[in-house]
Amino acid sequence: MRIEIYTRSEQLPPLVDGSVLHSSFMFRVFENSRGCKPYMLVAFGEDGCEVGHLLIVKKRRFRLFPPVLSYWYTINGEGVYCESCTNREEVYAVFIERVFDMFDFRHSFIEVVNIGDSRFAYSILRKHDFVPMRDQRMYISLHSRDPKERLTRAYRAHIRKASECGVVCSRATDDTEINEGLSLLRRYYLSKTRNKLPGSKALYAMLHNSDGSLSERAGLFVVKYKNKIIGSSVVLYDSDRANLAYCCGLRKRFPMQYPGIMAIWAAIKDAYEQGYAHFEFLEVRTLSRFHLGFINTLLNYGGKQVGTLCWYHFKWNWVNKILRSIYV
């Protein structure tokens, strides 16, 4: 088996279709994001055909207080594999080895997040001294019931009151709405530490195809009140799943219009109408204990919590030993 590493989108070969988190679409988004450098690891078999691929992102962040410049690698889950691949964990182990080849003294840690099955590659990650930390995913099943039936009584009342006040939710279809909605998101995420918004070029690439038309892999929803955008959300689409990536609302300036609630509800309702089976909240992942308030909010939509693991490997062995004694 041969592993090739690609760092530029124009060099990418045709990839096996799968999760949007490992697609060439997301590769281009990170390629245009400030402080990020994507690596696409592609495994080829003896016949020269692709066995699987994994998207890895090298991230950089500077903090002013205290002044720290940190680098780390993020591995988004288990990757994508062809249907004939029966040894996915073995291929994943080779991917992990190549990541350690890129890991040097400048990088602080490697993190593995968004693993759907906690049992996947468990022994492999433990063998490489990764530390498992409990985390959780949250999603809504859209295939069995109308999502409106899953809403709590309070949220049904909030949505009804907002609609009666004249709040209108829709998917952005022109550049004016897209720019206003993205501007609102940028102001909201400016103060966030764990979850940063990609740059303007990256967001534009996320929502548009190369020819300038609107993308089918991502969508921006806006909440309007008196022709003013007061909330927005960004959703990424897989084959059977819609993933909420970012959302915000001017809830302090417009408390009776419930812009944050309506921004999420617009995305859920649209996913249900398009026939997606599940709606997942990506913001919950990665040390979700720091998002308890957000998690409690999502439970009002009828969200289900599923336990999972986040894995971390630090360059300092003594840090790994201390964390293993706490979490393992």
**Segment holding 52, helix H or strand E:** strand 50-63
Q: Count CB atoms within 10 A of the CB of residue 58.
A: 18
326 within domain boundaries? no
Place of tokens 């927005």: 232
CB 171 within 8 A of CB 219: yes
- On whether both 116 and 155 belong to a single domain, the answer is no
Q: What pLDDT, on the 0 to 100 scale, is given for residue 192? A: 65
List pLDDT tens digits, range 136-183. 888 899 988 899 999 999 999 999 999 999 999 999 988 889 999 999
Average pLDDT over residues 236-260: 90
Domains of the chain: total: 2
Q: What is the 3-state secondary structure (H, E, C) of 99-165?
A: HHHHCCCCEEEEEEECCCCCCCCHHHHHHCCCEEEEEEEEEEECCCCCHHHHCCHHHHHHHHHHHHC
User: DSSP string of 204-224?
Assistant: HHHHB-TTSSBPSSEEEEEEE
- pLDDT > 60? residue 208: yes
- CA 236 to chain CA centroid, Å, is 8
pLDDT tens column, 2-54: 899 999 988 999 998 888 889 888 898 888 888 889 999 999 988 888 999 99
Domain boundary among 93, 128, 163: 128
For residue 229, tell me if it sits in a domain.
yes
Report residue 131 as tokens. 């530390």
The pLDDT of residue 289 is 56
Query: Cα separation of 2 and 227, whole Å?
Result: 55
Q: Are residues 267 and 173 in the same domain?
A: yes
Q: Report strand pairing: 278-281 vs 304-314.
A: unpaired
CATH of the domain at 122: 3.40.630
- Alpha-carbon gap, residue 300 to 65, rounded angstroms: 37
Q: Which two tokens stand for residue 127?
A: 């063998």
Classify the C-alpha dihedral 73-204-183-275 as positive or negative.
negative
Continuous segment of H or E residues that includes residue 242 = strand 241-249
pLDDT for 231: 94
Same domain, 66 and 172: no
* Three-state DSSP state, 29: helix
Lowest mean pLDDT among 62-76, 120-134, 233-247: 62-76
Residues 124, 70 share a domain: yes
Tokens 């962040």 belong to residue: 61
Whether residue 184 sits in one domain with residue 228: yes
Query: How far apart are the C-alpha atoms of 107 and 104, rounded to whole Å?
Result: 6
More confident call, 191 vs 256: 256
What count of residues does the chain have?
328
Domain of 175, in residue numbers: 139-306
Residue pair 35/61 in contact (Cβ under 8 Å)? The answer is yes
User: Do 232 and 247 form a contact (C-beta atoms < 8 A)?
Assistant: yes
Per-residue model confidence (pLDDT) at position 271 = 94
The answer to whether 99 touches 110, Cβ cutoff 8 Å, is yes
**151 and 19 co-located in one domain:** no
Does any domain span residue 327?
no
Does 267 fall in a domain? yes
174 and 103 housed in the same domain: no
Q: How far apart are CA 87 and CA 287, in angstroms?
A: 29
Both 165 and 106 in one domain: the answer is no
Phi, psi of 41 (to 5 degrees): -95, 120
Asked if the structure places residue 314 within a domain, the reply is no
Residues 171 and 238 in one domain: yes
Question: Does residue 134 lie within any of the structural domains?
Answer: no
pLDDT score of 243 more than 70: yes
The confidence score (pLDDT) of residue 114 equals 79
Tell me the mean pLDDT in the region 105-110. 82
What is the structure's pLDDT at 93?
A: 92
**Are 72 and 66 a contacting pair, CB within 8 Å?**
no
Instruction: Indicate whether 25 and 174 sit together in one domain.
Output: no
Residue 74 counted as domain residue: yes
Among all chains, which residue has been given the structure tokens 């993190």?
Answer: 111
Are residues 219 and 294 both part of a single domain? yes
Structure confidence by residue, pLDDT tens digits, 269-320: 999 999 999 999 887 655 555 566 777 888 899 888 888 888 999 988 899 9
Whether residue 143 sits in one domain with residue 241: yes
Please state the pTM of the whole predicted model. 0.87
% residues pLDDT > 90 (the chain)? 43
283 in any annotated domain: yes
**Tokens representing residue 1 in the block:** 């088996």
Report the SS3 class of residue 173: coil
Q: Can you give the CATH number for the domain in which 224 is found? A: 3.40.630.30
